[in-house]
Amino acid sequence: MTHRVTVIGSINLDLVASAPRLPVAGETVTGATLARHPGGKGANQALAAARLGVEVSLIGRVGADGMADEALALLRAEGVDLSGILVDAERSTGVALIAVDPSGENQIVVAAGANHGVGVEHLPDRIAGPLVLQLELPVEVVEAAVARVEGFVAINLAPAAPVSDALIRRADLLIVNEGEAAFYGDRLHAGGGRVVVTLGAKGAVMFEQGREVARAAPPPVRVVDATGAGDAFVGAIVTALLDDPSPAAALAFACSAGALAATRAGAQPSLPRRAAIEALSSS
């Protein structure tokens, strides 16, 4: 069965400097190489789902500049519906400045640009689920979108930010990393939905009503760049749960997707396809 998913979220152009090591505060590190890749959590998660065979519509905002075409290029090539993308005449396309070391660790600074120009007035009056959201847009937009959706809602509560209890209760699936889980605390389990906490190289764990129901570890891989691995995980866990609600199977599939994404440079170029994930999972 082919699913259709709506993603509302950020669209960026990633400027990635691969350096011998990451700088400490106030330090300049030389000898880096520069690459440009499409990115942004919303766009990444939309592309991740599209590469897994899902029909995806993306709602977001870019600037009236040359970076917009770069930021949307892979989404367009994969057939993502971009009719919900608006152009902001006053703000530039969002940019992420990313430093990556040889082990794949990264540091990221985001200039949101047009992403922060998305307003409640830009949302459809009714949104058909499944819906996937993150927190790189204004929180009030995310809150309004959740209030208008009919059906399944998945929210990647990243980057961590204050949100209402109503938002948490409405979500069928919440995805956070360890730092975000610490930020939200027990509030994550206040609703009736599932909560997934990613643990980096240790994998991920799923909870239902505060009780652990599944845990999975990723297959061993050679990490090149962890940028985008979390977004690959989100796209995969949502897709897997729509196909099969089994927590263990969905978690294992998503961990393999995240691991594969870490084996290539760049966020969107690294997002894997279903056949590659299944091959890694069975190896």
Q: Point out the residues that are catalytic.
A: 231
Kindly write down the DSSP assignment for every residue of 181-229, as one continuous string: HHHHGGGGGSSSSEEEEE-GGG-EEEEETTEEEEEE-PPP---S--TTH
Cα 169 from chain centroid? Answer: 20
- The continuous run of DSSP H or E covering 49 comes out as helix 41-50
Task: Please name the amino acid found at residue 60.
Answer: G
- Check residue 24 and report its DSSP letter: P
CB-CB contact of 122 with 86 (8 Å): yes
Angle at 158 between CA 216 and CA 95, to 5 degrees: 120
Identify the residue whose tokens are 């669209």: 11
